[in-house]
Amino acid sequence: MSLQATVLRAVQTAIQAIDDLAVSASHISRTPTIYSPGGATVYDVKTYSVKAVITSYDQKEILVDRELASDAKILVFHEQVIPKLNDTLTVNGKQYRIMRSQPTYAGSEIAFSTVQARPL
């Protein structure tokens, strides 16, 4: 078994282990498609079902210019699209705007993304 396969299997095991913490969420991806100077940007909007685990930032992780105390650190387990800046997540009926997204790879495949999410 390759190292990548071993890591992916370990990630799947971890996902199953935290399944009681993970909740169903909705990821709304907004990709700009048309921009005309002076006009409004047109977005291609798609909605994806994902699993999410909401955590919070440690005090030492909060940087004055990047994170707010109200920001959530959310682990997003997805298979179709990587969350990106200005996408939105709806978790437990609460909406968040994605401020930053950091994918975690297992070889060439994305295992999950850690996002900084700001309540709307």
Locate the domains of the chain by residue range: 3-119
Q: Which residue has the higher pLDDT, 76 or 1?
A: 76
Please, which residues have CB within 8 angstroms of residue 120's CB and are 6 or more apart in sequence? 88, 95, 96, 97
Global pTM reads 0.75
Q: What is the pLDDT of residues 81-115, one digit of tens each?
A: 889 998 999 999 999 999 999 998 877 778 889 99
Confidence at residue 104, expressed as pLDDT on a 0 to 100 scale: 86
CATH topology assigned to domain 3-119: Thrombin, subunit H (2.40.10)
